[in-house]
């Protein structure tokens, strides 16, 4: 798990095991409550006046995709262990996630064509800057308490399935890192700083969050802050819902780029937390009253609030109307229903069990320990921040990364993996050494469709070093919707053969260079 590095080595953090469970339960309670509160206003652009649930629930919550996919990820974690990565999650996505709309459906279409993450989330996907990833961050934070770098790594593996190199990936990484740190840091401003350290300063998510902080510090009202967010970071009004309110139309908020939704909604989530303060209901209602993706903003704000403060901070009046059950809406229940958590209590117990397994892994067992002793106080927030924020514009942006025992191999297709009859395509292969004191001469060979040609390559890899091999592929006839190949990596004198699948998309009918 080497995408991030912490600023400095930290001493072992002690978390009381009962407090850990309490915070996980509060996270899921906050998620269920916020999603139910915000669902009736989802994707409506306007300022509202909500102060409690607006419909009778008779002891049951509303179903919500924010929580659904995390139930699926829990099943994957239980089946495959903490070492699962984006390719394992993608297989579950392809079978278990039912919607065909927006980023969910576009990712499934790309996966079923054989495209691996992050290409599955990037190619032909205007919704890669939308909200589908940041809303499912909690599972990663809860299984990696006080380890924001680990939570961020998992969040990245998750988000690139349907958001690729988009802002949606930044949104999930930011929230997951913040939530993980919230198990041991209670100051919201410090948590925001920690979360932002894991994503680029120049990305829109960062800039939108910074805007909210400036407005809050200047004493701007939450309503005016909400307007500032939409003035600078709004997406399109959703065509399948009502248009913007008359007030927002008068403000010029009746348009925006299609799918450009995560910067504004992450910002509204932070707005609710800042302006709501220690009042649970005020936090959630303020988020909902800003409009936009209201079930997501309130649900995420509820989760963060719950992790910071625990179950005692959530008033019973918010729990009693919806109870503690979980209702699903976008999962393949025909295959997975027996395995799905049916209540927040069951979800908590199973999440804690996976978290214990993650903490027991050799890379982590000396970092965080669950104990019957009181939790360690006075954690230095600076020690949880990253000194190496993820840059999706570099390694991993334009193709998948494959891990082997001693090496990782990043495939870079360039702007997009399109190929056309008779043209040439560049393929960049970055080979990184995962083990100290191991160096080797790596031979790289491509096996391509009939009539295609490419030179062979070689790289000398020293300890803690990487090398890029560039292939010029001469494309023959492109016959299929997708064309497949294989990269073979061998080391003279060693028995291991590393095989990396390659896939290109037929671009004969696609104009331009293929983005």
Split at pLDDT 50, 70, 90, the class of 343 is very high
When divided into structural domains, the chain yields a total of 2
- Tokens 């990596």 correspond to 489
Q: Are 405 and 304 found together in one domain?
A: no
Q: Are 471 and 339 found together in one domain?
A: no
396 within some domain: no
Residue 18: predicted pLDDT? 96
Q: What mean pLDDT value characterizes the chain?
A: 90
Q: Quick check: 1 pLDDT over 70?
A: no
Q: Are 284 and 406 found together in one domain?
A: no
Q: Quick check: 7 pLDDT over 70?
A: no
Q: What is the CATH number of the domain that holds 495?
A: 2.60.40.10
Q: Are 132 and 95 found together in one domain?
A: yes
Q: Are 458 and 341 found together in one domain?
A: no
In this structure, the number of other CB atoms found within 10 A of the CB of residue 472 comes to 11
Q: Are 223 and 356 found together in one domain?
A: yes
Q: Are 447 and 340 found together in one domain?
A: no
Residues paired with residue 331 on neighbouring β-strands, in sequence order: 97
CA 195 – CA 204 distance, rounded (Å): 14
Split at pLDDT 50, 70, 90, the class of 390 is low
Domain stop point among 355, 373, 391 = 373
Q: Are 437 and 358 found together in one domain?
A: no
Q: Are 435 and 365 found together in one domain?
A: no
- Tokens 């999603």 correspond to 35
261 within some domain: yes
**Given strand 407-412, what is the order of strands in its sheet?**
401-403, 407-412, 424-433, 466-474, 453-454
On the 0-12 / 13-18 / 19+ scale of CB atoms within 10 A, 320 is exposed
Q: What is the CATH number of the domain that holds 59?
A: 1.10.4080.10
Token readout for 19 is 């407090």
Q: Are 323 and 419 found together in one domain?
A: no
Q: Are 168 and 263 found together in one domain?
A: yes
At 412, phi and psi to the nearest 5?
-120, 110
Q: Are 458 and 325 found together in one domain?
A: no
Residue 341: predicted pLDDT? 93
420 within some domain: yes
Return the higher-pLDDT residue of 239 and 49.
49
Helices (H) and strands (E) in the chain, counts: 18, 12
478 within some domain: yes
State the residue range of the domain holding 477: 401-506
């Amino acid at each position: 798990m080497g995408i991030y590095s912490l600023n400095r080595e930290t001493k072992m953090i002690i978390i009381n095991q009962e407090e850990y469970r309490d915070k996980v339960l509060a996270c899921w309670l906050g998620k269920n409550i916020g999603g139910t509160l915000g669902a009736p206003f989802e994707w409506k652009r306007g300022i509202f006046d909500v102060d409690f649930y607006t419909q009778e629930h008779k002891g049951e919550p509303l179903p919500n995709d924010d929580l659904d996919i995390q139930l699926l990820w829990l099943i994957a974690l239980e089946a495959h262990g903490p070492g699962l990565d984006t390719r394992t999650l993608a297989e579950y996505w392809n079978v278990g996630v039912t919607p065909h709309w927006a980023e969910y459906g576009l990712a499934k279409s790309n996966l079923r064509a054989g495209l691996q993450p992050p290409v599955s989330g990037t190619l032909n996907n205007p919704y890669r800057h939308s909200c589908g990833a940041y809303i499912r961050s909690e599972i990663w934070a809860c299984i990696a308490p006080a380890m924001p770098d680990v939570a961020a790594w998992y969040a990245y593996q998750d988000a690139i399935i349907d958001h690729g190199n988009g802002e949606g990936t930044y949104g999930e990484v930011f929230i997951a890192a913040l939530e993980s740190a919230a198990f041991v840091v209670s100051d919201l401003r410090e948590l925001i700083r920690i979360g932002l350290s894991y994503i680029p300063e120049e990305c829109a998510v960062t800039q939108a969050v910074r805007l909210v902080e400036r407005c809050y510090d200047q004493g701007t009202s939450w309503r005016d802050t909400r307007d500032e967010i939409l003035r600078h970071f709004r997406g399109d009004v959703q065509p399948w819902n009502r248009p913007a309110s008359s007030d927002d139309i008068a403000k010029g908020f009746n348009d925006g780029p299609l799918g450009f939704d995560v910067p504004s909604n992450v910002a509204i989530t932070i707005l609710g937390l800042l302006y709501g303060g220690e009042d649970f209901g005020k936090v959630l209602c303020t988020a909902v009253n800003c409009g936009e993706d209201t079930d997501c903003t309130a649900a995420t704000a509820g989760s963060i609030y719950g992790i910071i403060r625990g179950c005692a901070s959530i008033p019973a009046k918010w729990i009693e109307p919806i109870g503690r059950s979980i209702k699903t809406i976008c999962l393949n229940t025909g295959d997975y229903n027996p395995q799905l958590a049916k209540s927040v209590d069951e979800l908590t117990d199973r999440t804690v069990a996976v978290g214990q397994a993650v903490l027991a892994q050799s890379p982590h067992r000396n970092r965080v320990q669950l104990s019957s002793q009181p939790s360690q106080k006075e954690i230095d927030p600076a020690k949880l921040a990253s000194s190496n924020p993820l840059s999706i514009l570099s390694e991993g942006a334009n193709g998948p990364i494959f891990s082997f025992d001693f090496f990782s191999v990043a495939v870079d297709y360039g702007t997009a993996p399109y190929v056309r009859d008779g043209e040439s395509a560049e393929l960049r292969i970055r080979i990184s050494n995962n083990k100290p004191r191991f160096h080797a001469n790596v031979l790289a060979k491509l096996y391509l469709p009939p009539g295609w040609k490419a030179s062979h390559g070689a790289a000398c890899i020293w300890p803690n070093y990487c090398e890029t091999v560039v292939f010029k592929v001469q494309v023959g006839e492109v016959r299929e919707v997708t064309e497949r190949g294989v990269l073979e990596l061998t080391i003279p004198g060693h028995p291991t053969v590393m095989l990396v699948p390659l896939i290109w998309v037929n671009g004969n009918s696609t104009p331009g260079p293929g983005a």
